[in-house]
Structure 1
Amino acid sequence: MTVSFDEITLTMSSTPLTGVGTSSTPQASVPGSATSGKKGLSYNSASLTSLFSGKGISWVYNWAAVADGPILPGADYVAMLWGEKSIDTWSASAAAAISSGTTHVLSFNEPDHAEQANMDPTVAAQTHIDYLNPLADQVSIGSPAITNGGSPMGIQWLENFFSACGAQCKVDFVAFHWYDAASNFAYFEKHVEDVISLAQRQGIEKVWLTEFGASGSEDEVAAFLRQAVDYLDGNPAVERYAYFMCSDGILVDGNAISNPIGEEYVK
């Protein structure tokens, strides 16, 4: 089987789930102390996260502010303000998530992508100030999560966002994505380092790779993951990361972790 990632296909997986955000009480299972480590899961079906029990998963998210079901015990549920269409339910849902143990929140999902949050950097900056800044004394806050698209997308968009913020946006870590061929590890590494450099220019020490995916044969993707996970775990500026995604056909195969891709991710 060949694994491929297409930006249009990803639109469906990265859009908030129907009904998510309508409840103010997340159903996350958050014990007193979360699993330590960087590795996380992005999901649309909370029940699938339980397959990764004992596999070193420290955090999960679903592009929403409500867990939408019991999640992997010991994992930190990270709420997200997906975009402008999620604003109405954000404050109540974020408050409920925080009261249930959430310690980090994510800003907008791919606002530099026309098929995702699709926000002008100036609008995004003001919306971040209005809806994320008020949580600064309760949780750590991520930047909008950018793609690895070329200018004016990607890094250029995020630079424009920070300029529009005028040092007023509360951001504790920079979030970003990467998709390309499994054979292109050099590009992967360069993109991570470029984002780290951007963050450091803003006085931000940590970055989160909240989505990344590689296309190629299963063996090629597994080999890429082996190299990528070693690199991310060894990079002190990378605080957390999550391969796209905890779903059947990628990290999951039916009712089990997929082999070789899922198994390689959690080694």
Structure 2
Amino acid sequence: MPSLATLILLAATAAPLALAQLTSSKRGLCYVSSKTSSTDDKIWDESGSDLTWYYNYGTSPTSGYDGHLDFVPMLWGAPSSDTDMTFYNTVKGLIDGGMNISYVLAFNEPDGCTSGGSCVSADTAAQTWIREIEPLKKLGVKLGAPAVTGAPSGFTWLQNFFTACAGNCSADFLPLHWYGNFEGLASHVGQANATYANMTMWVTEYAYADADLSDSQEFYNQSSSFFDRIDYITHYSYFGAFRSDTSNVGVDTAMLTQKGELTDIGAWYLGMDATGEVPKGDAAQVAKFAGWVIVVAVAAFWTIA
């Protein structure tokens, strides 16, 4: 009998793809600060764009983003003190000041200790959650479970976290991260839903890392159409709101060119028509890519030989 993940994948691929510029109220901004932020930030906060919410991996909103985008605070990692209440107090202060805070996120890739992971043990995360995050529920805030990596260790960490919580961590939704192909994404979503069927789902980081332009665009179209058809996925944010020459997940995944122009993916994500602008990397990225081409060519030669 096919697994639930397989059935979801078949359903996702059987239906025709939606048009790339299809609008969606589920889309948000995964904000990444850079040296060009002062120039690029206005692109994401246009009143006519498709975006409705954003997060910036921090507790306080990004300067200038006080318009139509709802801010979602995040407790990125665990504080050093086991009595620290900074996150709770900051979020409460935003609410008391009149800001609409409907959701919070917690612990960015706590099972990862490199490449942006917060490297927090499940026990420490549970203690921090009970102290600083769970009380926000009384203020009407919905709570996002820890956003683990897409590796198998992620679900193991999450299981250990809820065990350590001993029933005291009442998460409302489950954030997911994924950086592989669409088939893997659909399977990952299916596994998460089968395990945590009582929670809705957000996909807060996703892209097809280091794929070429054609594959990146196909992945974007497939994944966006998939997310928009799945009722239990209520929010998603593509990881690519930066220029192609600064991307750490591949030049062709970026939503901006090296000159700060919207790529096709960037325009589609905002609900606009394709721009035809092709992203390019800097000299170091080009050299790295060329090096990989040589490695692959040599490997192929020796395999044939």
TM range (shorter): 0.7 to 0.9
**2:189 is the counterpart of 1:192:** yes
Identity %: 31
Q: Which residue of 2 aligns with 1:109?
A: 108
Q: Which residue of 1 aligns with 2:43?
A: 51
**In 2, are the aligned partners of 1:60 and 1:76 still within 8 Å (CA)?**
yes
Q: Distance in 2 between matches of 1:177 and 1:59?
A: 17
- Give how far 1:239 is off: 1.0
Q: Which residue of 1 aligns with 2:18?
A: none
- Give how far 1:37 is off: 1.5
- Give how far 1:59 is off: 0.7
Find the residue that maps to 1:57 and give its secondary structure: coil
Residues 172-191 of structure 1 show CA distances to partners (whole Å, capped at 9, x for unaligned) of 101121112xxx21111011
**In 2, are the aligned partners of 1:218 and 1:260 still within 8 Å (CA)?**
no
Residues 51-82 of structure 1 show CA distances to partners (whole Å, capped at 9, x for unaligned) of 13222101101000111311162111000011
Gaps of 5+ in 1: 1-34
Q: Letter of the aligned partner of 2:43 in structure 1?
A: L
2:25 to 37, 43, 61: 37
How well do the aligned residues superpose, as a CA RMSD in angstroms? 2.1
- Give how far 1:155 is off: 1.3
**Higher mean C-alpha displacement, 84-93 vs 122-131:** 84-93
- Give how far 1:85 is off: 3.5
In the TM superposition, 1:1-267 aligns within 5 A as 37-45=25-33, 48-52=40-44, 53=46, 54-71=48-65, 73-85=67-79, 89-99=86-96, 100-115=99-114, 116-138=117-139, 139-150=141-152, 153-180=153-180, 184-200=181-197, 203-204=198-199, 206-215=200-209, 216-249=211-244, 250-253=254-257, 256-267=260-271
Q: Distance in 1 between matches of 2:66 and 2:220?
A: 22
Q: Letter of the aligned partner of 1:51 in structure 2?
A: I
Q: Distance in 1 between matches of 2:259 and 2:52?
A: 21
Computing the radius of gyration over CA atoms, which structure comes out larger, 1 or 2? 2
Q: Given the two structures, how large is their TM-score scaled by the length of structure 1? A: 0.78
- Give how far 1:97 is off: 2.9
**In 2, are the aligned partners of 1:61 and 1:79 still within 8 Å (CA)?**
yes
Classify 1:94/1:255 alpha carbon distance in 2 versus 1 (closer, same or farther; 3 Å): farther
State how many pairs are aligned.
225
**In 2, are the aligned partners of 1:59 and 1:75 still within 8 Å (CA)?**
yes
- Give how far 1:129 is off: 0.8
Is the helix fraction higher in 1 or 2? 2
Q: Letter of the aligned partner of 2:128 in structure 1?
A: T
Q: Distance in 1 between matches of 2:30 and 2:158?
A: 22
- Give how far 1:159 is off: 1.5
- Give how far 1:44 is off: 2.6
Is the strand fraction higher in 1 or 2? 1
Q: Distance in 2 between matches of 1:43 and 1:131?
A: 23
Q: Letter of the aligned partner of 1:41 in structure 2?
A: L
Q: Distance in 1 between matches of 2:213 and 2:262?
A: 10
- Give how far 1:84 is off: 1.3
Q: Distance in 2 between matches of 1:37 and 1:108?
A: 25
Residues 205-257 of structure 1 show CA distances to partners (whole Å, capped at 9, x for unaligned) of x0111111212112221111011000001100101011113112212236755
Q: Distance in 2 between matches of 1:96 and 1:251?
A: 33
Residues 90-125 of structure 1 show CA distances to partners (whole Å, capped at 9, x for unaligned) of 233212333421211001111110122111212211
Q: Distance in 1 between matches of 2:166 and 2:159?
A: 11
**In 2, are the aligned partners of 1:175 and 1:207 still within 8 Å (CA)?**
yes
Q: Letter of the aligned partner of 1:38 in structure 2?
A: K
Q: Which residue of 2 aligns with 1:11?
A: none
Q: Letter of the aligned partner of 1:188 in structure 2?
A: L
Q: Distance in 2 between matches of 1:97 and 1:109?
A: 21
Find the residue that maps to 1:143 and give its secondary structure: strand
Q: Distance in 1 between matches of 2:66 and 2:191?
A: 32
